[in-house]
Amino acid sequence: MGFSSALQSRAAHEALIVRQDAELRLMETMKRSIQMKAKCDKEYAISLTAVAQQGLKIDRADEMQGSLISKSWRSYMDELDHQAKQFKFNAEQLEVVCDKFTHLSQDKRKARKAYQEEHAKIAARLNHLTDEVVRKKSEYQKHLEGYKALRTRFEENYIKAPSRSGRKLDDVRDKYQKACRKLHLTHNEYVLSITEAIEVEKDFRNVLLPGLLEHQQSVQESFILLWRNILQEAAQYGDLTADKYKEIQKRIDTVIGNINPTEEYGEFTEKYNYVSRTSPTTPLLFQFDETLIQDIPGKLQSSTLTVDNLTVDWLRNRLQELEGAVRDCQEKQLKMIEHVNGGSPVANGSIISNGSNTSNGIQSNKDSLCRQSKDLNALRCQEKQKQKLVDMIKCALNEVGCEELPSGCDDDLTLEQNFIENGYNNEQQISLSTNRPLYEEEWFHGVLPREEVVRLLNNDGDFLVRETIRNEESQIVLSVCWNGHKHFIVQTTGEGNFRFEGPPFASIQELIMHQYHSELPVTVKSGAILRRPVCRERWELSNDDVVLLERIGRGNFGDVYKAKLKSTKLDVAVKTCRMTLPDEQKRKFLQEGRILKQYDHPNIVKLIGICVQKQPIMIVMELVLGGSLLTYLRKNSNGLTTRQQMGMCRDAAAGMRYLESKNCIHRDLAARNCLVDLEHSVKISDFGMSREEEEYIVSDGMKQIPVKWTAPEALNFGKYTSLCDVWSYGILMWEIFSKGDTPYSGMTNSRARERIDTGYRMPTPKSTPEEMYRLMLQCWAADAESRPHFDEIYNVVDALILRLDNSH
Ligand code: ADP
């Protein structure tokens, strides 16, 4: 069934027009989507090129000469570049396809118009004749009535007139004859027009309309054919399984396949063998330095263990430990051999293969055998080393035999001296025996997090007491360094007394004193003995020492207050940490304090202390009166001079230079995280994201990254170095000169990122000195290694300021 037979009705004709409109719209939609696809493929091609370029930034120095893995990688990256080019080419072809769509839809529009006109034309002829027939018929009726009336009149006159003649009768007859003639003519015309109409209608239905529709069908079908061809072309340019891609993939597979572990180091080893003729490493000589003991008469002898009343327990403990370690090594070796042999230990310790047969299986089996025999060797060495120490101690103890142990010290004076030297001064011993509230004890560290505690306890016997909140209940914990770190929760008896495994005491202080003075282990299992209380450090302040005055800001973890230190009346800034935050967050909060503690620089905000005696935990810092730099810039945008702005840049550079020299990466440098004092001096603050490493790779996802301040390599690969801080410093300069504008304003984070990746950089803010803008651009170099270090930045800004000052 075709158009010609099925679509003759008026309704079908109109439906056909509507259908063509819908097709035109569909065509438009397709064209737009393909345009978008071309754009997106082009962008992908650009990113892929960037990937290949990044991948090619490999060390070309001699070290990797002859390396197959490095060569394969280079070829791999070249192939990625080819792939990018292919993508670009295909995207351009897709644009051509879009043009074809434009032409097709133009042609289709023309065809639709032609069809409509042709249909109207043939229908018009039929309509015209239909009207004619109606008109002729009504004429016919009119003449028929006139004829009938005149005929009646003529008959009446004819009957009445006796002679069938006379003037009146003649007149009537004449009129009747005329009417008769008219009627007959009209009749004939009506007959002719009906006949013509019948013919035209027949032709319309049988010839013209079917012809038009048939033609129309063929026109539309040829459009569909073209349409299909265009779509095929579009699909072809998006075909990722096309031969071109397959070839590239094949080449990539081949170059990676070329990596050959056994050949990888061939050239390298040959070169070194040739260049340096490396011989096996010369043995290092370890010797007891005799000069150490030359002033000590008798007691201590070179390379010999000293056994006396001071050391015997220690030696016995050590012996036990070492014997344990030897047993450990032996057990591990046995287990390893059993594991490798599928459960059957082999007498001589050799390892039998039980690997699979696939090529990878063989390789990994070989690797794992190799690794296991290496591990086994390491264990054997360890066992031998420890055994040697065991033998040495045993021998020394045996030599003493049942004799009374020699006294290690001759008099009490030396003993006291030792205490002082080791930091156990008498005062501490006394402080331990006073009975003040627990939180006032010097060795009570409040809610100091466990990591901090562990950092404070370094030698066996070091201990402190702290508080921990578990399930909203406070628990007091005794932390001791004893073969690692042990933490004991103070148990409460039904009567409200306190104990570990020994007797109960009315207060925690008494319990701790008992443990300390009795020198009994806290628990039998741990054997931990309390030897030296570790007191709060200078920066561990008491919460009660701080009086909060007014809120001056809001931080991520809680409010920031202006406060006063009771002891010194010093005005300070205090960051508080909301009590409801989970422990993990509290640790993060204190991270800033831990980092700041070590720094002392006029352009780095100073830490005064942390308060962890009780909740809320707080960080106490120097009060910087101007508050946040960002707010300051915005508020004082009219009053700031170029000289002042440059001074701010120099301060920030000085602070950052200091941090860089300490291997500290700030990771969140921005105007909002700097403070400014009343002399416009800028101090770097907010070390919540900082890391003390030369390079820091983010592994836990990129939550809450300040995208517009962060360097591309950190965003793309999570790789942070001080050069990333340099990038942020460039943005900070921009903020200073734009007086607190938002960078990349009007762009979303992802848009800004996209544009930066394709080379966009912010224009210079109004009235920024040219050299300063040049410096910003250097800080924003895509290649991190091309950015200046803070030392250089500081020198440039300092020189510019000097020049400015001299010119006035
Ligand atoms: P967080 O690190 O928790 O985000 P911020 O360091 O950003 O907290 O501090 C929030 C606000 O508190 C700052 O914008 C600033 O206004 C104020 N502030 C913080 N530290 C000080 C300080 N040492 N002196 C003066 N104001 C400060």
pLDDT tens, position by position, 739-756: 999 999 999 999 999 999
Positive or negative: CA dihedral 339, 340, 341, 342: positive
Same fold, 3-388 and 629-808: no
Q: CATH topology for 629-808?
A: Transferase(Phosphotransferase); domain 1 (1.10.510)
**Atom 7 in ligand 1: which residue has the minimum CA distance?**
555
- Does the annotation place 394 within a ligand binding site? no
pLDDT of residue 86: 94
Q: Determine the atom of ligand 1 nearest the C-alpha atom of 557.
A: 3
Would the annotation count 553 as a binding residue?
A: yes
Task: Give the residue, out of 590, 596, 622, 628, with the most ligand 1 atoms within 8 A of its beta carbon, to mutate for a pocket test.
Answer: 628
Nearest ligand 1 atom to the CA of 625 is: 25
Q: Is the CB of 621 under 6 A from ligand 1?
A: yes
Residue 705 pLDDT class (50, 70, 90 cuts): confident
What does the pLDDT look like over 54-110, one tens digit per residue?
Answer: 998 876 667 788 888 988 999 999 999 999 999 999 999 999 999 999 999 999 999
Which two three-digit tokens encode residue 600?
């002392």
Judge if the beta carbon of residue 556 lies within 6 A of ligand 1. yes
Q: Whose CA is nearest to atom 8 of ligand 1?
A: 555
Instruction: Name the pLDDT band for 354 (thresholds 50, 70, 90).
Output: very low
257 marked among binding-site residues: no
CB 80 within 8 A of CB 48: yes
- Selected catalytic residue, list 41, 81, 651, 668: 668
Q: What are 27-42's pLDDT values in tens digits?
A: 999 999 999 999 999 9
Mean pLDDT throughout 214-233?
95
pLDDT digits (tens, 9 = 90+) for 97-125: 999 999 999 999 999 999 999 999 999 99
Residue 409 has pLDDT above 60, yes or no: no
Say whether 554 counts as a known binding-site residue: yes
The candidate with the shortest Cα–Cα distance to 670, out of 597, 728, 741, 747, is: 728
Percent of the chain past pLDDT 70, that is, above it, reads: 88
CB contact at 8 A, 473 and 495: no
Cut 0.75: pTM above it: no
* Residue nearest ligand 1's atom 27 by CA: 627
The question of whether 668 is a catalytic residue gets the answer: yes
As a whole number of angstroms, the distance between CA 486 and CA 474 comes to 19
What CATH homologous superfamily does 431-533 map to?
A: SH2 domain (3.30.505.10)
Calculate helix-pair angle for 722-737, 790-807, nearest 10 degrees: 30
Pairing of strands 532-533, 462-470: parallel
Distance of CA 560 from the midpoint of ligand 1 (Å)? 6
361 is in an annotated binding site: no
- 487 dihedral zone (left: phi>0; alpha: psi -120 to 50; beta): beta
Spacing, Cα 671 to ligand 1 middle (Å): 12
CA distance 652 to 659: 11
Q: Is the CB of 555 under 6 A from ligand 1?
A: yes
Question: Which of 218, 226, 214, 216 shows the shortest CA–CA distance to 27?
Answer: 226
- Report which ligand 1 atom has the smallest distance to the Cα of 589: 3
Burial class (CB within 10 angstroms; exposed 0-12, middle 13-18, buried 19+) of 18 = exposed
Separation of alpha carbons 126 and 678, rounded Å:
96
Cβ of 51 closer than 6 Å to ligand 1, yes or no, is no
Per domain, the residue ranges of the chain are 3-388, 431-533, 629-808
Q: Class of the 3-388 domain?
A: mainly alpha
Is 575 labelled a binding residue? yes
Question: Does residue 7's CB lie within 6 angstroms of at least one atom of ligand 1?
Answer: no
Q: Residue whose CA is closest, atom 2 of ligand 1? A: 686
In angstroms, what CA-CA distances link 242 with 35, 37, 48, 79, 471?
21, 17, 18, 15, 61
Residue 357 has a pLDDT of 46
- At 660-671, the pLDDT tens digits run 999 999 999 999
Ligand 1 atom closest to the CA of 688, numbered from 1: 2
The answer to whether the CB of 689 falls within 8 A of the CB of 672 is no
The per-residue pLDDT for 475 is 85
Query: Does residue 626 line the site of ligand 1, with CB under 6 A?
Result: no
Of the listed ranges 264-268, 384-388, 514-518, the least confidently predicted one is: 264-268
